[in-house]
Amino acid sequence: MKKIFFTVFSVCMIISNYAQNHIIENLEINDFIDGTLLQPEEKKSKTLAIIIAGSGSTDRDGNQIAMKNNSLKQLAYFLADQGVASFRYDKRIIKLSRNQKYIQSQIRFEDFVDDAADVVNYFKLFEGAKYGFDKFILIGHSQGALVAQLASLKTAVNGLILLCGTAKPIDEVMVSQISKQAPFLYKDLKEAFDSIKKVGYVKAYNPLLKTVLREDTQAFLQSWMQYNPKAIAKKITESTLVVGGTTDIQVPGEEAKILSESFPNADYAIIDNMNHVLKEVKSIGLENQKAYNNPNLPLHQDLKSEIEIFLQNFK
């Protein structure tokens, strides 16, 4: 397995020959998914990258209420500049909420996996002749990295790019985070998660954990906890790039290396001074937090270089 490190001194990005004008088409995939197809104008792309957002009510551009960084929109335009089409979509939570049909207690992690697979199949099967894509890449960010892994086992794709995803099951991640932020809650959270994992719910828990353990989210947490990214990675043979950042305050950058080692065919990169929303910041303090709400801050240059190199086999 090839393993690589890149820092701010990494290989310079190859200059793109593609024009800046692109073809934009907003599409309704099904009752749950709306999104934007972005294609390079001057050269028809045979490759489609499907961009899968992270946790929460995240839209196609990578934004949430009171958090606008446009990270996924910037990623889509970068791909188009490289001659690669992309489809990015709002998570189903957004469309359900807009239609007043969102019931949080009914959402399961598998819903997000089904949505990603449905997007692939839409372009592969239902609209295959219209668009003519013959290669498909899943690009998952944060929670979306695990969604991409699982979706690749439901419908055939040609490659995966996993950005800032964890190598551990989500309950282990959250317990680790709470142990650093509030060590006195570690035991209570671990016991609550053990109960949710085994029986699907926990009734009595420390009220300080209410935001994490709300009754209407417990079934979703159970559905998410059952998946171990490293175990799933062993089943995926497609070419994969796993990327982390050294100033990611949500998922440690070294998780990229750990996760990549479970894939039969993966490279990894740990980008120096890249944070969780894929921007260049040099600290884990206020500068980092501000980047979450700065749509004018560009994607990290070394991330672009890594993706560009990976894409050479798909054009």
Res 181: pLDDT:
87
pLDDT reading at 12 higher than 50: no
Please give, one letter per residue, the 3-state secondary structure of 15-63. Answer: CCCCCCCEEEEEEECCCCCEEEEEEECCCCCCEEEEEECCCCCCCCCCC
So what's the pLDDT on residue 20? Answer: 62
What pLDDT, on the 0 to 100 scale, is given for residue 314?
Answer: 87
Q: What is the pLDDT of residue 39?
A: 96
d(CA 181, CA 176): 9
For the domain bounded by 22-169+228-314, which CATH number is listed? 3.40.50.1820
Locate the domains of the chain by residue range. 22-169+228-314, 186-226
pLDDT tens for residues 163-221? Answer: 999 999 999 999 998 888 899 999 999 999 999 999 999 999 999 999 999 999 999 99
Mean pLDDT of 94-112: 96
Say whether 300 sits in a helix, a strand or coil: coil
Per-residue pLDDT tens digits for 120-162: 999 999 888 899 999 999 999 999 999 999 999 999 999 999 9
Q: Which residues contact 74 (CB under 8 A, 6 or more apart)?
A: 278, 298, 299
The burial class, CB within 10 Å (0-12 / 13-18 / 19+), for 237 is: exposed
DSSP 8-state code for residue 124 = I
Task: Find the angle CA(236)-CA(166)-CA(137) to the nearest 5 degrees.
Answer: 40
Q: What is the pTM of this model?
A: 0.92
Note the pLDDT of residue 240. Answer: 98
Which 8-state DSSP code applies to residue 168?
A: S
